Structure 1
Amino acid sequence: MKKKLQTLLLLLGITVFSVIQLWAQTNTCPVPAGLTSSNITHNSATVSWGAVTGAAGYTVQYKPVTVLSWLTLNVSANTANLTGLLANTTYEYKVRTVCIATSSPNTTVVSDYSPASQFTTLAPPPCPVPTGLVSSNITQNSATVSWAAVSGAVGYTVQYKTAAATTWTTISVTTNSANLTGLLAGTAYQWKVRTVCVAETAGTPVFTVIFHR
């Protein structure tokens, strides 16, 4: 009786092992290979890899190389657009495959992540200096100053002062004009403007415009 029980347990163990081995063989999910990066700008990049036969999707993780935590993106094709990146920064990314288990259509299995690959974003584009400065609507104590709008600008910094002063008054605006108030009557003023871009601020221009009332 004892021998029969041992034989039964042995056969059961072999059966369980065979089932596990069969499940593993029929539910493998290949690791993506051939990682490449393209279309790299100062704040975005496209990453791609070789398509895996039978893949239901992919999980992409990416981060700056100096950061510990990963950002995760799920995609259905073998490419992903990474946006909102930092300029002039080296990123690393890795990908894993999501498969449908052949032994259980309602179950997904995932591969290991691929070895990480890297790319470096470009330096930010230059922030143009404003041009076409104009003074208008000049009264005894106010004036409107304006300039040509700069594409991509998020705002502008205007500085103005009397021609004899050494200290500038600074104001920030979001459009390509500013109203200067509290001015002195019969006084010559100088003003200048610079562009504020997302990534950087342009240097202060050397030209000035003088207006007086």
Structure 2
Amino acid sequence: MRTTADDILLHLKMRGPAPAGALAERLGVTRQAVRQQVEKLAAEGLVEAIPDHAGGVGRPGQAWSLTPAGHARFPDTHAQMTVELVEAVRAEFGQDGLDRLVARRERAAAAAYAAALDGARQMEARLDRLVELRSAEGYMAEWRREPDGAWLLVENHCPICAAATACQGFCRAELSLFRQMLAPARVERADHILAGARRCAYRVTVD
């Protein structure tokens, strides 16, 4: 059974830092309940208080953010084994062999995704299906429309982060895959977990 603490962790993972009042409003609980839970989570090292400048000028308020330990509550799938396999392939077949393996994986994923997106003509229908696929794989994906008319495809979690750190070809392949699935739209990476962002995000635009 999911608890209020679980809901807080999930909200901070999906939406980023938030003050206690905003968490209470969004989760439908009292501020006191949120304060009790974030204090327990802070004591466990899962969240931390950071300055909140959203209120404008004056003394900043306080928001809550996930710590590295909090992010680790959303697991990197088979991280150690995957990294060991990446390093073994690189040692056995060289970087070129690893690149070929990543490209083979990308082609297989592209074929499967193309079949899943078949029949979806409108951009938002394609994004719906892409988000469904990525979420099923553990990426906690979503999309939204930006004020300027662009779409933002967001992945709030990377279940292969350790592997992507060991071999950034996985990240290049992901961007290439999205460009194939959403063509002729332009797809550019806007945020990158490996560059220190809390999420990976891709900006999608059409001329």
TM-score by length of 1: 0.21
TM-score (norm 2): 0.22
- The structure number with the bigger radius of gyration is 1
